[in-house]
Structures are given as structure tokens and as C-alpha cells.
């Protein structure tokens, strides 16, 4: 067997048991997702030659999405400097996705496979969650490869070590650390995982509509987004299963954490731009950061978290959630 054959070898997924409608811990949606995984998941598809998609004249990131795109300090930079900042925006975007997958989503999924909440997930549910965890690892690889390609083809270092953890991870870690007990901490983790998995497709969609954007960047995001649209259904099914085991006290903890997670996921990330501008020694960078903070204060970057809102409404918890947290509009 050649190295190429080894890379193309896929693990066979055995036929899964039929969905049991009498099992409250199982979802027909989750069972369907688990059965369809070998056909739909990005990790099961042939890999694409990224270098063949790269077009040097294309922008790495939509300029209009830079929070300071119209600021005089940015406009005063020459085109090579602006191009580096657009490349940095793409690097930071990918790192944010990777941070969320590695430190928010997969740890939250692991709580389900370990049955931390005691709802007794079936073999089908565990299989579906493990498949999603494999997906997330593959997404991490995809975005890391996209960053490596950008550095290689542009000839710029753009080290990710310059960048802080994204705000969603920082706030999640703070919330978990401040939880009253291990169960509350697990509920906080579940909340952040649920918000991430039901909302990340909107974050990814920010980069899919610009025809002038680097094709390999658009392709990376589009492939990832297809998986995440399925993961949103999975996350919703898992939250529903967990809620059947929660008392009123636990529900309050979960609802508060869901609201906090929405605020964390939708907020602007000025700390990352502060690190980039300092590293690039952009003239007037401090002023640029200060003005960016002032102009983005309270304005969500991701404006569509309607999936988690609809999910809570379907569970009869929409009014309670709305009463606790303002929602992006």
C-alpha cells in the first residue's frame, strides 16, 4: 500500500441501530445525521489542492469587514501595508475558528460522550457526537492549512503566536472558573458549545459572499459551513436531551450561560487587532485601536444567533432567555 493509499483509506462506519422513538435521550435528527456522515462530512471527501486555487491578485479578506476600513490612519497606509493587514485579518479569522473548535466545542461534546448530565445517550447519539468531534478536528486542520498556505504564498511570517485567544474562549474560561460547582461548570460549557454550534455558520457566512475574495479562502469557509449546518441540528438535539434531566436551578444556570455565550460569540475582537497593529508597528496604531473600540462598542459582529433563540422558544424557554439577555438585532 502506498502513502497515497494510506491517506485515502477511510474507517468504515458500521450500520447504526434504527432510531428508537421511545428513547427520550435519542433524536431522529441525530440518528439521521449519524447515518449520513460517511456521505456528507468534509473529512470523508477527497482533499483539494489548495495551491491550485490560490490567486495572488485576490484579496485575502474583505476590506469592508475591517473594523477600521474607513479610518484615516488605515487609508493613509500604502497598498502593501493594507494587504498585510487584510492577510492578518484572514489569519486571525482562522485562529478564532480554531480556538472555538478546540477549546469550546469539542470539550463540550466530550461532556455528552462521558454522560456528565446523566441522560444516558444511546450508542447512536454517542456515535453522532464522536463524528462531530472528528469533523471539528478536521476543520481545525483545514483552517490551519489555509493559514499556512497564506504565509507560504505571500512570503509573510504572520505568526499566530502574536494573537490572543479569541473573546469567546476567554469569556468561556472565565465563566467556567466562576461557576459554583462542577455541575454548574459543565452546564456553562454546554451552553457555550450550543451557541457556538448553532451560530458559527453565520460567522462563516461572513466570508462566503464576496466574489473578489481569494478563492481558496472562500472554499475553506464554504466546506466548513456545510458541516456546521448539520452540527447545529446535533447541538439542538443534545440540548433538548439534557434539558429533560434539569431541575429549575440547573435551568437557570443554563439559561444565564446561554445568554452570556451569545454576548461572547457576537462581540467584536479589538484585542486581536491591538496585537496585530502593535506587531506591524502601524503608525498611529493606538489611535486606530481606540477609535475602533469606540466605533464597535455594543455592535455585534455576528448578527444572527436566531437559531439558539428559536431552539429555546421551541423548548418553552424563549421568554425566560429574552428576559435575561438582550439579543443582537
Is the pLDDT score of 24 beyond 50? Answer: no
Determine the Cα–Cα distance for residues 123 and 125; give it in Å rounded to an integer: 6
Determine the Cα–Cα distance for residues 136 and 106; give it in Å rounded to an integer: 7
Is the pLDDT score of 19 beyond 60? Answer: no
What is the reported pLDDT for 301? 60
**Closest to 141 in 3D by CA, of 90, 101, 86, 172:** 101
Q: Note the pLDDT tens digit of each residue in 64-115.
A: 889 899 899 999 999 999 999 999 999 999 999 999 999 999 999 999 999 9
User: Do 103 and 169 touch, CB atoms closer than 8 A?
Assistant: yes
Cell matching residue 280: 506591524
Cross-strand pairs, 319: none
Query: Is residue 7 situated within a structural domain?
Result: no
What's the angle, vertex CA 265, arms to CA 193 and CA 86, rounded to 5?
125
Is the pLDDT score of 1 beyond 60? Answer: no
Torsion angle (degrees, nearest 10) of CA 322, 184, 194, 243 = -80
Q: The domain spanning residue 164 has which CATH number? A: 1.10.620.20
Query: Is residue 285 situated within a structural domain?
Result: yes
pTM to 2 decimal places: 0.86
What is the reported pLDDT for 327? 59
Q: What is the DSSP letter of 26?
A: -
Query: Is residue 115 situated within a structural domain?
Result: yes
Query: Is residue 82 situated within a structural domain?
Result: yes
What is the reported pLDDT for 6? 25
Q: Is 56 exposed, middle or buried (CB count within 10 Å of its CB: 0-12, 13-18, 19+)?
A: exposed
Query: Is residue 14 situated within a structural domain?
Result: no
Report the first-to-last Cα separation within the chain, whole angstroms. 55
What is the reported pLDDT for 16? 40
Cell matching residue 26: 435519542
What is the reported pLDDT for 43? 83
User: Do 324 and 259 touch, CB atoms closer than 8 A?
Assistant: yes
Is the pLDDT score of 15 beyond 50? Answer: no
Query: Is residue 33 situated within a structural domain?
Result: no
Determine the Cα–Cα distance for residues 89 and 165; give it in Å rounded to an integer: 14
What is the reported pLDDT for 308? 79
Q: Note the pLDDT tens digit of each residue in 165-216.
A: 999 999 999 999 999 999 999 999 999 999 999 888 878 888 887 888 999 9
What is the reported pLDDT for 102? 96
Average pLDDT in the 303-329 region?
73
Structural domain for 111, as ranges:
59-324
Top mean-pLDDT range of 42-46, 120-124, 201-205: 120-124
What is the reported pLDDT for 52? 84
User: Do 235 and 194 touch, CB atoms closer than 8 A?
Assistant: yes
What is the domain count for the chain?
Answer: 1
Query: Is residue 48 situated within a structural domain?
Result: no
The total of other beta-carbon atoms located within 10 Å of residue 183's CB is 16
What is the rounded average pLDDT for all residues in the chain? 85
The total of other beta-carbon atoms located within 10 Å of residue 3's CB is 7
What is the reported pLDDT for 232? 86
Determine the Cα–Cα distance for residues 271 and 267; give it in Å rounded to an integer: 11
Q: What is the DSSP letter of 160?
A: G
Query: Is residue 18 situated within a structural domain?
Result: no
Amino acid at each position: 500500500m502506498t502513502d497515497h493509499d494510506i491517506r485515502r483509506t477511510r474507517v468504515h462506519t458500521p450500520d447504526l441501530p434504527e432510531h428508537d422513538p421511545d428513547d427520550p435521550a435519542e433524536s431522529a435528527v441525530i440518528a439521521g445525521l449519524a447515518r449520513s456522515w460517511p456521505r456528507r462530512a468534509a473529512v470523508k471527501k477527497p482533499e483539494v489542492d489548495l495551491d491550485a486555487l490560490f490567486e495572488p491578485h485576490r484579496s485575502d479578506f474583505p476590506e469592508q469587514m475591517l473594523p477600521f476600513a474607513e479610518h484615516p490612519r488605515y487609508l493613509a497606509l500604502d497598498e502593501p501595508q493594507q494587504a498585510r493587514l487584510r492577510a492578518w485579518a484572514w489569519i486571525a479569522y482562522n485562529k478564532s475558528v480554531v480556538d472555538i473548535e478546540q477549546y469550546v466545542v469539542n470539550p463540550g461534546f466530550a461532556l455528552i460522550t462521558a454522560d456528565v448530565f446523566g441522560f444516558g445517550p444511546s450508542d447512536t447519539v454517542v456515535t453522532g457526537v464522536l463524528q462531530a468531534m472528528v469533523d471539528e478536528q478536521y476543520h481545525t486542520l483545514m483552517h490551519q492549512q489555509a493559514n499556512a498556505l497564506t504565509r507560504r504564498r505571500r512570503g509573510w511570517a504572520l505568526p499566530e503566536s502574536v494573537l490572543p485567544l479569541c473573546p469567546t474562549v476567554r469569556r468561556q474560561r472565565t465563566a467556567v472558573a466562576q461557576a459554583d460547582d462542577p455541575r454548574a461548570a459543565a452546564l456553562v460549557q454546554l451552553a457555550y458549545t450550543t451557541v457556538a454550534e448553532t451560530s458559527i455558520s453565520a460567522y462563516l457566512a461572513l466570508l462566503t459572499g464576496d466574489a473578489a475574495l481569494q478563492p481558496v479562502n472562500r472554499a475553506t469557509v464554504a466546506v466548513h459551513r456545510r458541516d456546521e449546518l448539520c452540527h447545529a441540528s446535533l447541538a439542538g438535539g443534545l440540548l433538548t436531551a439534557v434539558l429533560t434531566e434539569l431541575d429549575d436551578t440547573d435551568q437557570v444556570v443554563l439559561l444565564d450561560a446561554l445568554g452570556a455565550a451569545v454576548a461572547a460569540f457576537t462581540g467584536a475582537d479589538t484585542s486581536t487587532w491591538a496585537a496585530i497593529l502593535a506587531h506591524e508597528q502601524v503608525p498611529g496604531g493606538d489611535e486606530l485601536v481606540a477609535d475602533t473600540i469606540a466605533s464597535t462598542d455594543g455592535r455585534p459582529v455576528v448578527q444572527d444567533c436566531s437559531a439558539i433563540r428559536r431552539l429555546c422558544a421551541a423548548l418553552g424557554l424563549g421568554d425566560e432567555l429574552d428576559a435575561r439577555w438582550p439579543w443582537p438585532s
